[in-house]
């Protein structure tokens, strides 16, 4: 189990809980409770019930025939885009809202970049009748107006993060500051496998339903649980963590994590953390981090707001360092090309984030007998304006 978190919250040298003392009691409470709660029968029953009847799981594993023909491998798409709210994010927010309920918390806070995690959080708060405050960078509020309205319709308060670069990392800072100021009644629903221990492990466990389903669906369709490889995009890395989770220890399955290269890795406008980052501390976790020589966190760039994060979850930093996963990167243009291709070949409009995973197919050479599972983490409705704008 060398890819599981250790008792101190580390994956190899990465992870930990680098938090100010103000957050210690909250994080400690969660750390001591989370495994027991998740493994309890009552929690599992409610979690599985909501995943099935509310989120619409299991999500299909779809054999994409025309895509397969084009690339010369048997390609399956794990259809997280068909979940309620349109992405894998709901798996995690259902898990965390049940955790919050269990700990008796009355007030929920979250950060969001493009708004997908904010919508998924607002959704479960409405479901449970809990107060919901979502922090979102001022710039993201402007460029993701439909998701802001969705969150408001669902009863959430959207608070602008006005500090720093006014995007995802600053929204996360604001959420953490709110948490510091409300240390007893508030639960922070983090949207990815980032943040202080136990968040990366807790979120990975909630998202691990993806690989659990892939295993049984593979067995049914291919007579074996194992594909040749799994491909997923990585920003913070929650859909990739979920897709890889049950395969981490079986090295016969190749894992490919695709980061956003933005305008190109060496362009200065990129979010490829595994290439451009060095070990550092962001949002309470030691991980690979894009930073200046002086240790200031830099603002990354990607056309995809969901991949636009200067760090990466500590599990992924460990997978990159040990070589267990292969890290690749895809530019804005390559991702857009993959969007238009999937629309035409399979009748599916993918999210920009997921398109980064799809675009990796074009860069690979297949022998013909490989079985490839690509995590289609979200649907493209939210990106329609971008797709129309860039259409040739």
Partner 1 sequence: MENRITSLFQETEDKVMSVYFTAGFPELNDTMEILTNLQDQGVGLVEIGIPFSDPLADGETIQQSSEVALSNGMTLKFLFKQLKDVRSTIKIPLILMGYLNPIMQYGVEQFCKDCKEVGIDGVILPDLPLAEYVADYKALFDSYGICNVCLITPQTSEERIRLIDEHSSGFIYVVSSASTTGSKLDTSGQEGYFKRIEAMNLKNPLMIGFGILDHETFTNATKHANGAIIGSEFIRVVKEEGSSLAEKIERFANKIKVTI
- Residues near partner 1 (CB under 8 A) are 8, 16-22, 24-25, 163-164, 169-170, 173, 176-177, 180-184, 278-284, 289, 291, 293-298
Q: Give the nearer residue to partner 1 in terms of CB position, either 170 or 259.
A: 170
User: How many whole angstroms separate alpha carbon 251 and alpha carbon 136?
Assistant: 38
Mark out the alpha helices in 245-378 (DSSP H runs). Answer: 273-276, 314-322, 332-346, 352-359
User: Which of 92, 114, 49 has its CA nearest to residue 188?
Assistant: 92
Q: State the nearest-atom distance from the C-beta of 280 to partner 1, in Å.
A: 5
Q: Give the nearer residue to partner 1 in terms of CB position, either 8 or 252.
A: 8
Say which residues have a Cβ less than 8 Å from residue 59's Cβ, sequence separation at least 6. 78, 79, 80, 82, 83, 210, 213
User: How many whole angstroms separate alpha carbon 295 and alpha carbon 112?
Assistant: 24
Q: State the nearest-atom distance from the C-beta of 182 to partner 1, in Å.
A: 7
Helices and strands of the chain, counted as H and E runs:
16, 14
User: How many whole angstroms separate alpha carbon 15 and alpha carbon 313?
Assistant: 8
Please confirm, yes or no, whether 89 is among the known catalytic residues.
yes
Q: State the nearest-atom distance from the C-beta of 357 to partner 1, in Å.
A: 28
Q: State the nearest-atom distance from the C-beta of 241 to partner 1, in Å.
A: 23
Q: Give all strands (DSSP E) within 138-227, no chain letters.
A: 157-161, 186-189
Classify burial at 307, counting beta carbons within 10 Å of its beta carbon; exposed 0-12, middle 13-18, buried 19 or more: buried
Please tell me which residue in 80, 111, 334, 346 is annotated as part of the active site.
111
Q: State the nearest-atom distance from the C-beta of 20 to partner 1, in Å.
A: 4
The structure tokens listed for 169 are 């990392």
User: How many whole angstroms separate alpha carbon 254 and alpha carbon 243?
Assistant: 12
Phi, psi of 297 (to 5 degrees): -75, 130
Q: State the nearest-atom distance from the C-beta of 28 to partner 1, in Å.
A: 9
User: How many whole angstroms separate alpha carbon 8 and alpha carbon 362?
Assistant: 40
The structure tokens listed for 42 are 């009552």
Q: Which residues of 120-154 are buried (b: 16+ CB within 10 A; e: fewer)?
A: bbbbbbeeeebebbbbbbebbbeebeebbebbeeb
Q: State the nearest-atom distance from the C-beta of 144 to partner 1, in Å.
A: 22
Please tell me which residue in 208, 211, 274, 377 is annotated as part of the active site.
377
Please confirm, yes or no, whether 111 is among the known catalytic residues.
yes
Residue 159 three-state SS: strand
Residue 357 three-state SS: helix
Please tell me which residue in 89, 105, 286, 382 is annotated as part of the active site.
89
- Catalytic positions: 89, 111, 377
């Amino acid at each position: 189990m060398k890819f599981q978190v250790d008792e101190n919250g580390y994956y190899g040298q990465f992870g930990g809980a680098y938090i100010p003392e103000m957050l210690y009691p909250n994080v400690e409470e969660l750390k001591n409770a989370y495994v027991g709660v998740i493994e309890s029968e009552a929690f599992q029953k409610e979690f599985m019930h909501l995943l099935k009847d509310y989120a619409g799981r299991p999500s299909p594993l779809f054999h994409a025939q025309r895509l397969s023909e084009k690339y010369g491998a048997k390609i399956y798409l794990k259809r997280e885009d068909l979940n309620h709210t349109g992405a894998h994010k709901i798996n995690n927010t259902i898990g965390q809202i049940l955790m919050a309920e269990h700990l008796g918390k009355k007030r929920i806070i979250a950060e969001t970049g493009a708004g997908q995690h904010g919508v998924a959080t607002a959704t479960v708060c409405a479901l449970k009748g809990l107060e919901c405050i979502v922090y979102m960078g001022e710039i993201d509020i402007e460029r993701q107006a439909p998701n802001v309205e969705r969150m408001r319709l669902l009863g959430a308060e959207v608070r602008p993060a006005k500090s720093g670069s006014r995007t995802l990392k600053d929204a996360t800072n604001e959420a953490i500051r709110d948490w510091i100021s409300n240390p007893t009644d508030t639960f922070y629903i983090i949207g990815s496998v980032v943040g202080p221990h136990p968040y990366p492990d807790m979120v990975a466990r909630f998202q691990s339903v993806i690989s659990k389903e892939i295993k049984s669906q593979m067995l049914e369709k291919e007579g074996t649980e194992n594909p040749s490889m799994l491909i997923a995009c990585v920003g913070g890395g929650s859909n990739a963590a979920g897709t890889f989770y049950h395969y981490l220890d079986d090295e016969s399955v190749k894992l490919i994590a695709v980061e956003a290269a933005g305008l190109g890795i060496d362009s200065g406008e990129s979010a490829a953390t595994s290439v451009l980052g060095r070990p550092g501390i962001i949002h309470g976790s030691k991980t690979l981090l894009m930073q200046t020589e002086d240790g200031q966190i830099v603002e990354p760039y990607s056309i995809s707001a969901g991949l636009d994060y200067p760090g990466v979850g500590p599990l992924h930093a460990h997978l990159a360092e040990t070589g267990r996963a292969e890290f690749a990167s895809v530019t804005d243009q390559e991702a857009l090309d993959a969007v238009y291709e999937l629309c035409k070949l399979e009748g599916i409009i993918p999210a920009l984030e997921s398109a980064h995973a799809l675009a990796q197919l074009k860069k690979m050479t297949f022998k013909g007998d490989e079985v490839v599972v690509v995590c289609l983490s979200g649907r493209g409705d939210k990106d329609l304006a971008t797709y129309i704008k860039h259409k040739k």
